[in-house]
Amino acid sequence: MALSWLPTIIFLLIFLFPALVESAIRHYNFTVVLKNTTKLCSSKSIVTINGKFPGPTLYAREDDNVNVRVINKVQYNVTIHWHGMRQMRTGWSDGPAYITQCPIQPGQSFLYNFILTGQRGTLLWHAHISWLRATIHGAIVIWPKKGVPYPFPKPYKEKLIILGEWWKADTEAVINQSMQTGLPPNISDSYTINGYPGPVPGCTSQGYTLHVEAGKTYLIRLVNAAVNDELFLKIAGHNLTIVEVDASYTKPFTTDTIFIGPGQTTNALLTTDLQTTGKYLIAVSPFMDTIVAVDNLTAIAFLRYEDTLAFPPPVLTTTPAINATSETSKFMDNLRSLNSKKYPAKVPLTVDHSLYLTIGVGINSWPTCVNGSKAVGDINNVSFVMPSTALLQAHYYNISGIFTNDFPGNLPVPFNYTGNFTGGISTSNGTRLYRLAFNSTVQVVLQGTGIIAPESHPIHLHGFNFFAIAKGLGNFDPKNDPKKFNLVDPVERNTISVPTGGWTAIRFRADNPGVWFLHCHLEVHTSWGLKMAFVVDNGKSPDESLLPPPSDLPKC
Ligand code: C2O
């Protein structure tokens, strides 16, 4: 008798108290498999998730608990990183191999488990070991909590555009050969737009089409999952209004060109014309304002209005010059945090740790390499050596001898970082971390150097968002440059371009205990050692402490 009331009670609980069911658990299965993809017009097999390229999109809502079981069915060790996810106290699920976990070995699996606290927007996931992210990547879409609107007009529809980079050769062979010879890796054969390359000589790819209706506003969620290149995107005859980057809302600004580095994401509103039909070119081209070789082919797709004739002549557009530095700085200068009442920019106003980190690529002599030397990447002249067991475990279990806490926060001997180098700067190797107390505030001036050639570096920090408070050309001036720091509404993100021959200053609060990787998101530079990590201690209370490791955490 009493039990017959049960359905009514459940009904009342669910519909009258929606808060009880608002945050859901979302389950995903990611199986790592080999796949031939005709999109890439070659018979070579690539490593994918669930046979898809790009991989499946992970859809969730702010505050959801996400569970992803990753089952490794290929011959490579694999890990997956949820790029830009804060991973509050769940560093075990962050994913960079040998930093937070040992890799998932062939035949093994691991359950990534984390909560999307206080985040909404577009991010990406990707493999985080060697160069497997070339083909193992996909988008993460986090909608606002139920009933919470976007802080911009509601779009009619949402569209994802994922940019990538494709080699005809096996990318693991490309990077292994480079590491053995000490020479730069071969450049890619094409950029991809939602998995379609093009145009590539000898390859007829049908390409991607963005289908739209007239007189509507679309939310474009753009992801740069390329391996080594910063990119421009333009759509002929249409402007884009930027409303969010790296899952943080921005003040809206309108542009005809998007600049996006690998690991970055951008949400933009696209309003279609009222009475138009036709086909418009979407062009994706690289940015490189120095002497480094990059794949200089423009990838194309089309925006197509419905009711368009079968074969209309497309409306074309020009791409920015490959070295269009002014275009990139204009774009970055326009990015500001929304900084509204609801979404305030919580910029740290005081600084406990002030770091000055030089980032660059140099040459070390290395007798076994082709020219007797090899390229090295470094931060403050330390080229990071990957350990053979995961740093987070070493930290949690207090295993000594895996890393040291003495990463230099400043260079002992300053030099003219962006000047012309004659002699060499010698680099040391080490697994050195910078230690931070829980909740301390950190300012990092990232100073590009010009040891071989100055280059723009998209620097990514795991575990935190930071505020990009200023940037400039040449060497950072500690006397005068702080006067131009924006502590009011600087853009909040997880990956930032440090300009060629210049610097960028960022601030963050170390409110997430664990071991957090900082590296250049040009994968070739990470391979060469342009990386380091922070270790953030637990706070006083249990809810300020790293959770215990999951029982299925892979072993090295
Ligand atoms: Cu998207 Cu450590 O990387």
Are 455 and 496 in a shared domain?
yes
Are 298 and 357 in a shared domain?
no
Beta-bridge partner residues of 384: 430
Is residue 14 scored above 70 in pLDDT? no
CA distance 362 to 427: 8
Average pLDDT of the residues of the chain? 93
Q: Residue 97: which of 392, 375, 378, 360 has the closest Cα?
A: 392
Is residue 3 scored above 70 in pLDDT? no
The pLDDT value given to residue 546: 98
The pLDDT value given to residue 326: 96
Is residue 549 scored above 80 in pLDDT? yes
- Ligand 1 atom with minimal separation from the 519 CA: 2
Are 185 and 270 in a shared domain?
yes
Of the listed ranges 351-355, 414-418, 455-459, 516-520, the one predicted with least confidence: 414-418
The pLDDT value given to residue 424: 53
Is residue 132 scored above 60 in pLDDT? yes
Are 412 and 458 in a shared domain?
yes
Between the CA of 206 and the centroid of ligand 1 the distance, in Å, is 30
The secondary structure of the chain in percent helix, strand, coil, rounded to multiples of 5, reads 10, 40, 50
Q: Tokens 């971390």 — which residue?
A: 433
Are 107 and 134 in a shared domain?
yes
The pLDDT value given to residue 204: 74
CA distance 494 to 492: 7
> Is the residue at 550 inside a domain?
no
Report the CATH number at residue 297. 2.60.40.420
Q: Tokens 């990183």 — which residue?
A: 81
Q: Dihedral through CA 101, CA 163, CA 190, CA 519, nearest 10?
A: -40
Given 284, 300, 334, which residue is the final one in a domain?
Answer: 334
User: Considering the chain, what percentage of its residues have pLDDT values greater than 90?
Assistant: 80
Rounded mean pLDDT, 196-224: 90
The pLDDT value given to residue 200: 77
Helix H, strand E, coil C: the string for 296-348 is CCCEEEEEEECCCCCCCCCECCCCCCCCCHHHHHHHHHHCEECCCCCCCCCCC
Higher pLDDT, 8 or 444: 444
Count of other CB atoms within 10 angstroms of residue 278: 18
Are 313 and 392 in a shared domain?
no
Rounded mean pLDDT, 104-112: 98
Between the CA of 460 and the centroid of ligand 1 the distance, in Å, is 6
Of the listed ranges 21-35, 212-226, 279-293, 523-537, the one predicted with least confidence: 21-35
> Is the residue at 549 inside a domain?
no
The pLDDT value given to residue 19: 47
Are 210 and 329 in a shared domain?
yes
**Helix runs in 297-449, H state only:** 325-334, 391-396
Are 170 and 314 in a shared domain?
yes
Is residue 422 scored above 70 in pLDDT? no
- Ligand 1 atom with minimal separation from the 262 CA: 1
Between the CA of 308 and the centroid of ligand 1 the distance, in Å, is 41
Between the CA of 83 and the centroid of ligand 1 the distance, in Å, is 6
**What is the tally of structural domains in the chain?**
3
The pLDDT value given to residue 308: 74
Rounded mean pLDDT, 276-300: 92
> Is the residue at 148 inside a domain?
no
Give the residues surrounding ligand 1 with Cβ less than 6 Å away.
Answer: 81, 83, 96, 126, 128, 263, 460, 462, 517, 519, 521
- Ligand 1 atom with minimal separation from the 126 CA: 1
In single-letter form, the type of residue at position 377 comes to G
Count of other CB atoms within 10 angstroms of residue 188: 25
Between the CA of 16 and the centroid of ligand 1 the distance, in Å, is 41
**pLDDT per position as a tens digit, 73-87:** 999 999 999 999 999
196: containing domain = 157-334
Are 393 and 506 in a shared domain?
yes
Are 274 and 369 in a shared domain?
no
Q: Could you tell me the pTM of the whole model? A: 0.94
**pLDDT per position as a tens digit, 242-252:** 999 999 999 99
Nearest residue (CA) to ligand 1, atom 3? 83
pLDDT category at 421 given cuts 50, 70, 90 is low
Rounded mean pLDDT, 189-204: 85
